Amino acid sequence: MENADLTLTIIGRVSSPLKTREECPRQGFENAPEAEIEIFPSFLEGLDGMEPGRDIFVFTWLHQADRSILKVRPRRNPDAQLKGVFATRSPVRPNPIGLHRVKLLEKDGGRLLVAPLEAVDGTPVIDIKPVITRNDEC
C-alpha cells in the first residue's frame, strides 16, 4: 500500500518584498510583511471554497536550506549548546518544510494575499490547509 512516490509537487510560489534570506524575520509574527502566493493554473480548483478572513497554514519548501545538518545553535545565542533541529523551527532539517500560519486577506483567482509571511520571494509552496479547532469543524 506504500505510495512509493516521495517527490513533492510544487503548487505555487511566494511573491514577496523579501528578496534575500538576510531580510527575512525568523517567524511571521516578527514583523513579516504581506505577501502574495500565486497558485499555478493546474491547481486552481483546489482553492474552491477558501474564504478571505480565515487563518490558513501555508506549507513551503525552504529550497535554500541545508538538508544534511541535524544540530543547530539557538539563534541570537552563540554560547548556547547545540540543539537537535526537530526541537527548533530552523529551516535546516532533513525535509525543509516551512509551516506558516497566516491570514488570507484577499483571493483573486490563483492570487492569494496573506500576512504575515516570512518566506523569501520565489519560495515554492507545497500545500495549504485551513486552521481548524474542535469548534471549527471542516
Tell me: does residue 7 bind a second copy (CB under 8 A). Answer: yes
Residue found by looking up cell 520565489 in the block: 122
Burial environment of residue 103 by CB neighbours within 10 A (0 to 12, 13 to 18, 19 or more): middle
Q: Report yes or no: 111 and 14 within 8 Å, Cβ to Cβ.
A: no
Pick from 1, 17, 22, 108: which binds a second copy (CB under 8 A)? 1
CB of 76 to a second copy, least distance (A): 9
Nearest to 83 by CA among 92, 99, 70, 65: 70
Residue found by looking up cell 533541529 in the block: 85
Pick from 34, 73, 96, 121: which binds a second copy (CB under 8 A)? 96
Pick from 46, 52, 109, 115: which binds a second copy (CB under 8 A)? 46
Residues that bind a second copy (CB under 8 A): 1-3, 5-11, 27, 29, 39, 43, 45-51, 57, 59, 61, 63-65, 67, 70-71, 74, 81-89, 93-97, 99, 126-130, 132, 134, 138
